[in-house]
Structure 1
């Protein structure tokens, strides 16, 4: 019966999330039996009772029942979108609470001199994973002056770079790069003392 207003129960019946889930399943399948057996894994009489309880709580018929199945009434069509929205909001609230309960990951910004990332990145990442497992590492590359400025301004937590003569930051030498001279011929006699 379309548009029938039901007498609202006064015995303290409370609408529960399962009522909304059950109603949506019935509306989507068009059948109490199919929704009960295939989607909700409950008995059809129990599902019918839950839908009646929901309709009593809302105060109107939400479904029109016939031998062919069930259809949404005008009230049911108005109700279903809000029911879906309510369930989506509950799911979002649960996810937000779970995310908030996770340990907060700190950011650790790592900088490398351009071209040296592949030399030092694997070793640095291994050390960071061992020493700081709950840290989210970001990696960038640049030239030494830019990296030094990044550390000084707090944009980088650590930088692998060439030593700058006027650094106002703490640093530690981690590598001595060998420097060689290349020439087209094997005549090194004229440059033997260049390194001293």
Structure 2
């Protein structure tokens, strides 16, 4: 039994004759008759009463017709959903991000994507960069807004840089340098609070190298595994910190953010994905991000 058998029976039931059913389906009357005869042999009983001028369903034919219509509707729906999925129009998309790093553009991208693809189920997961990388590898998320790839993830994942976030200086509100542009050498005698190297190895090393180039080794008195922890330590008077400017979204009231001059230290933000898990939904989202890349850079950095 094939779907065409069901379609032919439904057409005869709807139009009343083999000839009219054949005309509507662009199939010969004899082909319709042969296919329905095959169907009746497979069912093991008569589905149509052919004794009168107008073909009518037998009681068993009425039962079969109801189920045939359900089957055809389900098959059409399966085809529609599958074709839509191949075009990236239905399905789900899981996105990892960290709030302050994604910044204001993230909400706009999500809003624009939702307008273009209303039938995609979006799930957002707030994660730190290492967690996002692991989630990409395991398939928990499809897209990550994270820091640029570092070993070993750069061997298996793919990423595109969206912008470079300027690194700024965070000081206690009453610090003598608060509110002024700050050069790195003016911090030579300060106590430093940094994010754990395990969390941001590239930035940690860049800060140490920047201080070394200015002729001093930073006096690192404390670290934290989160940027909010770094800001809290600065607010408590533990020291000063160099952080990406996006951290301003987490800024507590007791700290001041000052620009670093000259501005020669940045921390990138990338969109990343696993090339092993590419599909049309993911690619449609990446296309939207790329289309907005210039706007993102104008808003957030270089």
TM-score when scaled to structure 1?
A: 0.49
TM-score between the two structures when normalised by the length of structure 2? 0.34
Larger Rg: 1
Higher strand content, 1 or 2: 2
